[in-house]
Structure 1
């Protein structure tokens, strides 16, 4: 493969490469912030969207599902496109297109139009994300790359922290349309800054796009994500879930055969012989698997068991995300100074400790009692995520940075999706096994028939897996035709107890997965200041790290 040719940077910043690197990171951070804020803000706005556009539950679910499926399917192919057309050009197209699609979302007059605009958002987000990370990989020298990714991780954490609060404020004090319009000023500034400061790098000799590989991998990722997303409704053993999972795995096998025969594959399979790349991918998936066990299910605990509003729950989780913001640059510094392995091991140990502390949660736990675990979890996740990203993207040559970052973001999304689905299935099983005896104990022997009736009601069971929020108590009262406070209090107590027992299992399993991930950190090899100079598919196995 021909060496990359770099156009000389123009402008006054050419004499200050690190100033240009940090300004480029600022432009990328703005673009990535737009995408990540969009995901959390829209989730808060969904009820208002459904009411205004008169959408039913399945339609409003597609507002999110359509976006996620397109994003999952296109991340890796889009990363490959970014490598071929240039990372700066791909980033600019991605952020400009995402901003225009956001405008269309905000102007939507029907749910069908909104879903179509969300599909368009997903297309450009898939290009923006890998291109942005590839820009960071290109502009930072190897010895500073950890710090660059550390600041990038802090921006991601900031979006995670601020998104729910921002979404709640806009829905309460403006309209749902602003959940999309808010993207426009960020997008415009990101484009202007990127045009001025991101250096233009001419890609290496362009080969034809691997269309068979791209098409096959897109179908494979969509099949797998579609299967996992449907687990809560259909179960792991349903024909639908098993069928789509099997189809996805078969397509991945077909993709591997296609790539092995291509002269210029979209994803060189030799990348996976690089053990830092492979271990980093698994570590990142495991990090998101455990992190979303905390973020997703503790949100339900706060809103359902502690009866906090959406904004109050977001504020309650701020200690976790605030520490994550601080931990990400710290992880970059540790990786740069001591290597990625140490940061990963510390992160895995702290995350496992936090999950173990969360496994002791009770219905009587309050926000203050959860604070130490929140702080430790934020520190641990930050220390794990940043060096895992660096292990993936930093261990490949610059002309493969786009596709490597596509792999990184795909594994990140799969890890979080899989975590929610696996733990959701576990909670459903706990409810199935324990809700009836807990309910019978709370109601007393004289109400065993009522306990059997409620435990066998699928709607009630579903409410228990979501923590049995205050609205569920009212719905059960309507179902029973009774507003007896004693009976309703007993049902609520049994439901909350069952949900918390399920959380014990969720957090213990997540802690175990994190401990196993910690051992994978021993496989990551990254000497500070060293990168592979040649493309992995041209190196011998002995030269790969």
Structure 2
């Protein structure tokens, strides 16, 4: 059952990475600008962040298997449409359309696994969840880079659609439905205000690259987002059946886990977007070479994630996640050194370290957050933490891309990676504040009296 669920997760993450190193080729083919096509990456992230809380709640109420199958079905259809996009706007639209049903796959797959693997087995299962989440992008890089060079970018989605369909077929046969929470009305007012806040905030951030941080449009969207967020909090405090129970954020482990995940994802994904630019512009890598180089990081992430889960059982989630967060921060320093010293070898050190850091940070923090909530609230809790992770990723992507701008100078790269390192400190803080839930108690040693 575990691998049946993870098959769909693999299929949905297959094309994320290859688009990052192929935007120039896609822009030339469709007659669009590279900056506009960054929405093919940030658009799905935006859809995920907006829709995840609602789908998490629907999964709790109507069954996570049902949401998982519906989400994977919709994603498969959108993938087929994406392969036949005829312009930049149509490609962006189909990518965003695919991100909406994909928003159901992540929280549902996590909730199904957590229901099936309670207690101490949960961190091991989530380590494999993280492993597969990294394996999809790795496959996209290793297979997709040469595929784009040989046949064109459309073949990435032509290959992805059958993978999603296969995952759907296996899940229909193998995955069992999860218990449902007692029926209650959907908090549509909360869903709408949260969606509005997320959309305006992330749109404001995405526009900073073209308009600048002080542009009136950007500032207006940011203020409107804060107003919508304030409205969301008021709605949730008054609702009898809130979309996101705010008491979750009063739980220490849940709150600190989210802080840790936000900081780690900011640095990890922000670095993911600008590092291909570094190796292509400063070191002259081709698309295929950049793809293979970037594959190193998710490969290491996937290998380290199960190891991190193993050590979390031995020494506790806090120690493992703190080490991971520190390593993520150090990896940003490696990228700074590589750009300043014009040393491509240090880039590879940074890729390895960032993969190690993410692999050690993710599974323990996810498990800590899940162990802080009741089983019947796993769907919305998982959706909340994935939403925060997605927002961290989008903040990282847009902030570091905006700082880099159109420049390829060593100082611009150093500044962008430096911001990533600073934000990674929040991951160290959040990870260091969680209370471990899985550490095995020390064995008592007794001696017989003489």
TM over 0.5: yes
In 2, distance between residues paired with 1:362 and 1:120?
Answer: 37
1:501 counterpart = 2:411 = yes
Q: Could you tell me which residue of structure 1 aligns to residue 433 of structure 2? A: 523
In 1, distance between residues paired with 2:138 and 2:273?
Answer: 13
- Aligned partners of 1:143 and 1:529 also within 8 Å: no
Note closer, same or farther for the CA distance 1:113–1:368 as it changes in structure 2 (3 Å cut): closer
Note closer, same or farther for the CA distance 1:163–1:264 as it changes in structure 2 (3 Å cut): same
Q: Could you tell me which residue of structure 2 aligns to residue 172 of structure 1? A: 149
The structural deviation recorded for 1:327 is 1.1
The alignment partner of 2:224 has SS state of: helix
In 2, distance between residues paired with 1:46 and 1:301?
Answer: 14
Give the counterpart of 1:393 among 370, 373, 379: 370
In 1, distance between residues paired with 2:221 and 2:190?
Answer: 19
- Aligned partners of 2:269 and 2:396 also within 8 Å: yes
Q: Deviations over 1:45-82 (max 9, x none)?
A: 55555555555668755555543433322121121111
TM-score (normalizing by structure 1): 0.75
- Aligned partners of 2:278 and 2:339 also within 8 Å: no
Q: Could you tell me which residue of structure 1 aligns to residue 216 of structure 2? A: 239
Note closer, same or farther for the CA distance 1:375–1:409 as it changes in structure 2 (3 Å cut): same
Note closer, same or farther for the CA distance 1:182–1:255 as it changes in structure 2 (3 Å cut): same
In 1, distance between residues paired with 2:335 and 2:32?
Answer: 37
1:217 counterpart = 2:189 = no
1:260 counterpart = 2:237 = yes
- Aligned partners of 2:11 and 2:167 also within 8 Å: no
Superposition CA RMSD, Å: 2.5
In 1, distance between residues paired with 2:313 and 2:331?
Answer: 25
Bigger Cα Rg? 1
State how many pairs are aligned.
440
In 2, distance between residues paired with 1:513 and 1:46?
Answer: 26
In 1, distance between residues paired with 2:398 and 2:165?
Answer: 36
Q: Could you tell me which residue of structure 2 aligns to residue 152 of structure 1? A: 129
Q: Could you tell me which residue of structure 2 aligns to residue 360 of structure 1? A: 337
- Aligned partners of 1:285 and 1:411 also within 8 Å: yes
Q: Could you tell me which residue of structure 2 aligns to residue 89 of structure 1? A: 66
Q: Could you tell me which residue of structure 2 aligns to residue 287 of structure 1? A: 264
In 2, distance between residues paired with 1:111 and 1:426?
Answer: 24
The alignment partner of 1:141 has SS state of: coil
The structural deviation recorded for 1:505 is 3.3
Q: Could you tell me which residue of structure 2 aligns to residue 271 of structure 1? A: 248
- Aligned partners of 2:59 and 2:379 also within 8 Å: yes
| 1:528-543 map, 5 Å | 528=438
1:124 counterpart = 2:101 = yes
Which piece of structure 1 moves more, 398-407 or 146-155?
398-407
Give the counterpart of 1:297 among 233, 253, 274: 274
In 2, distance between residues paired with 1:111 and 1:299?
Answer: 21
- Aligned partners of 1:107 and 1:177 also within 8 Å: yes
TM-score (normalizing by structure 2): 0.90
In 1, distance between residues paired with 2:416 and 2:90?
Answer: 38
In 2, distance between residues paired with 1:63 and 1:221?
Answer: 18
Note closer, same or farther for the CA distance 1:112–1:362 as it changes in structure 2 (3 Å cut): closer
| 1:272-421 map, 5 Å | 272-362=249-339, 364-421=341-398
The structural deviation recorded for 1:257 is 0.7
Note closer, same or farther for the CA distance 1:179–1:362 as it changes in structure 2 (3 Å cut): closer
In 1, distance between residues paired with 2:99 and 2:82?
Answer: 12
In 2, distance between residues paired with 1:510 and 1:42?
Answer: 21
In 2, distance between residues paired with 1:121 and 1:419?
Answer: 22
The structural deviation recorded for 1:151 is 1.1
Unaligned runs of 5+ in 2: 441-450
Q: Deviations over 1:185-229 (max 9, x none)?
A: 222221222223322223021101111111111111111110111
Note closer, same or farther for the CA distance 1:189–1:357 as it changes in structure 2 (3 Å cut): same
